[in-house]
Structure 1
Amino acid sequence: MIIKTVSPHDDPLGSELLAMQKAAYAVEAELIGDDRIPPLHESLAELRARDLLWLAAFDGGALSGAVAWAESADELDIDRLVVAPAMARRGIGRALVEAVLARAGGRRVVVSTGRDNVPARRLYEGLGFTLLGETEVIPKLWIAGYALVR
């Protein structure tokens, strides 16, 4: 597996990222019983309009996962972590989050996931993230927020 910096503005990578994102969030929607996850319904233009930094994992040259985040002087906010469903449970998500953590320095790292997304919650907790709380972001759609202070 190779992890490298990418941009959704590159073609055809942007379309590949969007397709993988939709497939990954469809799995999360099934896990949490709710398909109102905003990135599940994003267009390519909306994806490209987000001011995010991206890393992607490639296995044998094929896109297998990606992580995007925003950062400030004090904090990194992991905005999305997606793994191709056919590549799930192979350590790709963990490797991508660890790559972001390596860029954090001493800054706090925050992330949110669906409250009922047990695999994602296990991943973040296994990496040392602490649960900040659970929030109902829209009626009946709950997220769990995490932080890691290094």
Structure 2
Amino acid sequence: MRIDGITPDQRLLDLQHASYAIEAELIGDDRIPPLQENLEGLLAAGELRWLGAFDAEDRLVGAVAWEETAELVDLNRLVVDPAALRQGIGLALVKEVLARAGERRVEVSTGRDNAPARRLYERLGFTGLGDVEVIPGLWITSYAKS
């Protein structure tokens, strides 16, 4: 697997939709904003930095996006091709962002009922900050790692 910087495009949007469709099933709610996003919206999120994970055939199989300041890295999105789940792709991408964050605090949120994502963040040493109902019936759990 190769990890490299990427520019948002239709391929990334398709991967994002496929990945968030899995999360929607896990949490029982399809109102996840990135699941509803179109290419125009993805391209307009210009403040995001992106890394992609590529398999041996150079196919995009995962991606991570974050925003950063001098003090904070906000892990905004983590997507993995459903056909490549449980192969360490998400773990490798988050570890790469953590390495780039250095000593800065890293924050991330995921669907409260997305057990695989929660296990991933907890395995990497993130601490739970609590649950928030972002829109009626849609709950997220926030994490931080200092």
When normalised by structure 1's length, the TM-score is: 0.95
3-state SS of 1:94 partner: helix
**In the alignment, which residue of structure 2 is the partner of 1:124?**
121
Gaps of 5+ in 2: none
Alignment match, 1:11: none
> C-alpha separation between the residues in 1 aligned to 2:66 and 2:43?
13
Equivalent residue for 1:30?
A: 25
- Aligned partner of 2:52: which letter? A
Match of 2:48 among 49, 52, 67: 52
Residue type of the alignment partner of 1:41: Q
CA distance in 1, matches of 2:41, 2:53: 22
Q: CA RMSD in A?
A: 0.4
What SS does the corresponding residue of 2:143 show, helix, strand or coil?
strand
Partner of 2:65: 68
Q: For residues 60 and 101 of structure 2, what CA distance do their matches in structure 1 show? A: 24
Identity %: 64
CA distance in 2, matches of 1:42, 1:103: 27
Residue 95 of structure 1: how far off its partner (Å):
0.1
Aligned structure 1 segments of 4 or more residues deviating by more than 4 angstroms: none
State the alpha-carbon separation in 1 of the partners of residues 40 and 21 from structure 2.
Answer: 19
Distance 1:137 1:102 in 2: 29
Measured against aligned partners, the alpha-carbon deviations of 1:24-57 in whole angstroms (never above 9, x if no partner) come to 0000000000000000010111001111000000
Matches within 5 A, 1:78-97: 78-97=75-94
Alignment of 1:16 with 2:11, yes or no, is yes
1:115 aligns with 2:112: yes
TM-score where L is the length of structure 2: 0.98
Shift of 1:105: 1.1
Describe the SS at the equivalent of 1:34: coil
